[in-house]
Structure 1
Amino acid sequence: MRFLGRTCLIVLSLLPAVSTQRDGSSVVGSDQPLIASPGEDVTLPCHITPSLSAVNMDIRWFRENINILVHLYEDQKDQTDVQDSDYQGRTDLSKLGLLGGILSLTLRNLRPSDSGVYSCYATDGVWDGQGKTELIVRALGTQPSISMDSTQGEQTWLVCRSEGWSPEPEVIWRDRDGNNVTSLSNTTVLRVSQGLLSVSSYIKIKQQSNVFSCLVRSKTPKPDWESKLHISSEYHMFVD
């Protein structure tokens, strides 16, 4: 009886230490957005710090809100039947990584629609934590083309078109002196095949010799596309 009493005292004295260790752990994502291209594979980083085995935890990956379930690991296995249909067959959670608290998710064959903020949530029923990672699926569109859309009286519409963008690009118009005249333009954006975007930007000009340039620029670091239109007084057009 004395032996049992001492054993109970030892176990009780250890419980607060285990609880404190869990309370001090947190789930960490990425503080920098990940930038990738359509068709590529990417690994969304997430881990528990300090390192802690997540094999027996429930792990949920979701995008933007909890209703868009990207991946669910529960009862020590992947629950693919409840996965959002857009992600079925495209995700992988390393079971070996779970031993060291690595919760990173591999997402294959990226689509423009995959862009967004992803959350990684882990819980053991008592402790829980959540980290976030932003993914930008970026596609550089086509070289923009400038054409004369219509002529009415002394005014003419020019239109600058480019397609195949993700996310939505920025359009900048300049005159021959380099002045930014974008405020005089109207731009429309349409979503076309595979979730990519088509851009059309219109601007009015007067009947006079001039040079207009249309710059279509990605809002994330990437080379820009630019086209220039030389307009003579006789409306003979040359596109660079």
Structure 2
Amino acid sequence: MRLSAELLAFQGRLGHQFRKPDLLTRAVTHASIGTATRPDNQRLEFLGDRVLGLVMAEALLAADPGAREGQLAPRFNALVRKETCAAVAREIGLGDVLKLGRSEMLTGGRRKEALLGDAMEAVIASVYQDAGFEAARALVLRLWGDRIARVEPDARDAKTALQEWAQARAMPPPAYEEAGRSGPDHAPMFTVRVTLANGASAEAAAGSKRVAEQAAARMLLERMEGAGL
């Protein structure tokens, strides 16, 4: 199989020359357009998630030999979460070469956080299957760059941190609800409200519910801690 001009350009941005080009084609093929004769990237995504996890676990251990598991776990989660994978995908223009079905095209699939993150994991797996673990590790470390060195010592995501704050005060978990939605179908904007049992709440808007929830949780946590509660 020969790669299209678009995928050849992407291969250059990725920095890996595929010996088996069909692996890259599969990695960028979303389930919305996959068929029996044109496999989608879901199985590669499953594998890539594990390859990424191993690379990051090794990198974090090497970066901080004295860190305990409880310190490493939130840093690990910050580096492998979908938002981080999607950010890396945007940096290399992965969204531009995704093969999507019509429905995903019309709803802005090339910009969707979860879709980009999944495809990034599939690309990692395609390199792993094409050239082995060392090639995949080199790719991940290069693409993630200084994110590993810059990860916060306490890198818990905001929702986890807010839930732990509430639990420490014998409160039930925070409640999240969609407070509004605006914008066109291909680029929606979600407003999410998070509320604590004490009545405190915060709202935030983003292009995905997941990101909006994180932003609202961060806002409320900062407000509570700022008030000394």
Superposed pair shares fold, TM > 0.5: no
Between Structure 1 and Structure 2, whose CA radius of gyration is higher? 1
Q: Choose between structure 1 and 2: higher strand proportion.
A: 1
Give the TM-score normalised by the residue count of structure 1.
0.26
- Relative contact order, higher structure (CA 8 A, sep 6+): 2
- Structure ranking higher in helix proportion: 2
Task: Please report the TM-score for the alignment, with normalisation by the length of structure 2.
Answer: 0.27
